[in-house]
Amino acid sequence: MIKNEFKELVLDTISKHSNISKTIISKSHFTLSELIHTSPKLINSVDLMEVFAYTAIQIKKKYQVAPKLPALPLSTTMDEVVEYLFETTKLKLEVRQ
């Protein structure tokens, strides 16, 4: 599992399901709170959970395991989200092997 490739997959999916360009969400320190407020599609944390579910589905398609759905504070940055998803996916892959 290559981290950069994983990150691109996560950002592509979040960008698609939040209707925000990848350039914007890729900015350092872009938080989940900003994601909800900037998106024309997301209203609240339930929508955010749905975006993470779509992301987990894409990860499962590519790596055969789905990460745990994150329940992170809204102050979490997108880099931290990617890190969380990467680590929980890695852990699940290790358990499976």
Partner 1 sequence: MNTLDINKTKLPLCGNKPNVERNVWAAITTNDNGLFKTFWQQHRYHEARRWSVTDFINEIDFPNLTMLERSYIKNAGFAEITTKPGADRLTRQADSECQKWLNTNPQLSAVMQACGTWSRYWNEEESHHEMAFLYLSYAANENTDSPILNAVPSDKEIIDFRRIYPDDNMLRTLTILAMSEGIATLQYNDFADAATDPALIALFRKISLDESQHMRNFVSFAKALVDSGEFDIRDVLSMAIMFMREDGEIYGNSENRVKERDTHVNWWDAIDDNCQRDPASEEKEVKQIIFKVVENITGIKVSDVEELEEIWMELLVA
- By CB under 8 A, name the binding residues for partner 1: 43-46, 49-50, 53-54, 56-57, 66, 69, 71, 73-75
Six token digits for residue 49: 């959970």
| Least distance (Å) between residue 46 CB and partner 1 | 5
| Least distance (Å) between residue 73 CB and partner 1 | 6
C-beta of residue 55 within 8 angstroms of C-beta of residue 18: no
DSSP state of 20: -
Please name the residues in contact with 42: beta carbons below 8 A apart, sequence gap of 6 or more: 18, 35, 36, 48, 51
Six token digits for residue 70: 């994150």
| Least distance (Å) between residue 23 CB and partner 1 | 26
Count of CA atoms in the C-beta half-sphere (13 A) of 21: 3
Residue nearer to partner 1 on the CB measure, 26 or 76: 76
Residue nearer to partner 1 on the CB measure, 2 or 71: 71
Residue nearer to partner 1 on the CB measure, 13 or 15: 13
